[in-house]
Amino acid sequence: MRFINGNIFVNGRFVPGGFSVAHGRFTHVLAETADGESVDLHGAYVIPGLVDVHTHGNSGADFSDGDYDGLVKMAAYLAQNGVTSFAPASMTLPYDVLETAFRTAARLHKAAPAGCARLMGIQMEGPFFSEKKKGAQNAAYLRLPDYDAFARLYDAAEGLLRIADVAPELPGAVEFARRAAEKCTVSVAHTDASYEEAAAVFDAGATHLTHLYNAMPGIHHRNPGPIGAASEREDVTAELICDGHHVHPSAVRMAFRLFPGRICLISDALRCCGMPDGQYTLGGQDVFLSGGVARLADGTIAGSAAKLYDCMRNAVAFGIPCEQAILSATAIPAREIGRQDEIGAIADGMHADFVVCDEKLTRQAVYLGGRPL
């Protein structure tokens, strides 16, 4: 099948042309070829399917539930909303609960049901966090960094564990980062670390910063903290929740300046995403959704109720160049989970997952493996 007369997002810019799809993958991208049957895009814009590497749930389901049918529901909702690949994030919970969830993820990855976003990884968000910056994590289950526990969960996930989070100031964090970085991306998260403590973990192999600004100290001129330490390293990528609630538009623009080409947009969505206002749960705690904002009973802002596609469009509305916002929701997150050769770009040999939209990124259609949803 040949798609013609489009504006195709390739290598960070839109280029007039088309592409073919064969056996579910892109081929002959921007090349002249006669494939027979074709789809005329009539000048529409085509971007890669989005990649969300930090989402907890939607549609009333949560990854940490360990429920297969719930995970399928999540994956279908993501695909319908332009996210064609994802790495669900766990919560701070008992190890046996996490193991069940990770085994369920491995089952979905292998099953790859039709009409569902591809489950291409897992982010282990917890339990190696600071109580002071636990945010919406459940303090009852916080633990010190434990490589052996991580390794058991890595095995349960059958290699799908692609990001592991840790607070640098905890005893054993440096050694944990050094060893875990041999298996996956290590991220600094839910931390009250000083600049020096964070720098030590980055030196040990961490290359990721979970939800920049949130659940960490702000930048201070006498203690730049983990943000300062991360921004100085060209190999560190920072996640950003661009839902309009977690981070002020000015701070969004600052983030893109501090981390040029290294911002990974995420949703951090909860099970209340796509649901009406009301009471839900997160990691065993009650969450209250009102007016698009999810909070714990004490008022602490929890994850979001946002869709990654909307976060990408918000970034553009906040002043981020369209092309950079797209990369931050596609190629960059794909890279962070080591899937840059499979997803996140329109290039020969990649999964033919893409979104057809207009010049304002208004979504018109979603394709998985070259087939419309």
Using alpha carbons, select from 121, 119, 115, 120 the residue that is nearest to residue 368: 115
The one-character DSSP state at 345 is S
φ, ψ for residue 226, nearest 5 deg: -65, -30
The DSSP bridge pattern shows strands 45-48 and 50-55 to be unpaired
As a residue count, the chain comes to 373
157 in helix, strand or coil? coil
Which helix H or strand E contains 192, and what residues bound it?
none
Catalytic residue among 52, 62, 243, 268: 268
d(CA 277, CA 214): 23
- Retrieve residue 160's tokens: 């799908």
CA 86/CA 162 separation, integer angstroms: 11
Long-range CB pairs of 217-223, under 8 A, 24+ apart, other chains included: 217/133, 217/191, 217/192, 217/193, 223/194, 223/195
3-class DSSP assignment, residue 322: helix
Cα separation of 71 and 91, whole Å? 15
Catalytic residue flag (residue 268): yes
CB–CB of 98/89 below 8 Å?
Answer: no
Distance CA 224, CA 253 (A): 18
Cis peptide before 145 (omega within 30 of 0): no
Tokens of 164: 């592991």
Give the CA angle between residues 187, 192, 195 to the nearest 5°: 75
Q: How many helices (H) and strands (E) does the chain have?
A: 10, 23
| Exposure b/e, 221-259, CB count within 10 A at least 16 = b | eeebbbbbbbbebeebbbbbbbbbbbbeeeebebbbebb
Q: Kindly list the catalytic residues.
A: 268
